[in-house]
Amino acid sequence: MIPVAAQKQSADSVFQMVSRISRQNQVAFTSVTTGFSVGGIDLGSNNVRTVPEAKAALLVGNGTNASEVGEAWFVASQQPGPAPEPD
């Protein structure tokens, strides 16, 4: 949920950004004109939960090949979203 009213950018700028992200990542977004729900909880309610950030792990050690691990790391870093970070 991206509330337009809480943004520093104009509604048009937010729309353009979301449209660009939608095209780049082939993800569909749906707009609503109200947060009120006919049935169930309303958008913006305290009952709406934030989706936790997705995390991934790349386990290496005995039996792994450094070149293959490097390739997997490179491929992961080329995907949309946060880049992998060494831990």
What are the pLDDT digits (tens) for 4-57? 777 888 989 988 988 998 998 888 988 888 888 888 888 878 887 777 877 777
CA end-to-end span of the chain: 30
pLDDT of the residue at 83: 64
Query: Taking the model in full, what pTM does it have?
Result: 0.46
- Domain borders along the chain are 4-37+54-77
- Helices (DSSP H) in the chain: which residue ranges? 11-25, 66-77
Residue 59 pLDDT level (bands cut at 50, 70, 90) = confident
What are the pLDDT digits (tens) for 5-16? 778 889 899 889
Q: Tell me the Cα Rg of the chain.
A: 19
- 32: its two tokens: 């609503």
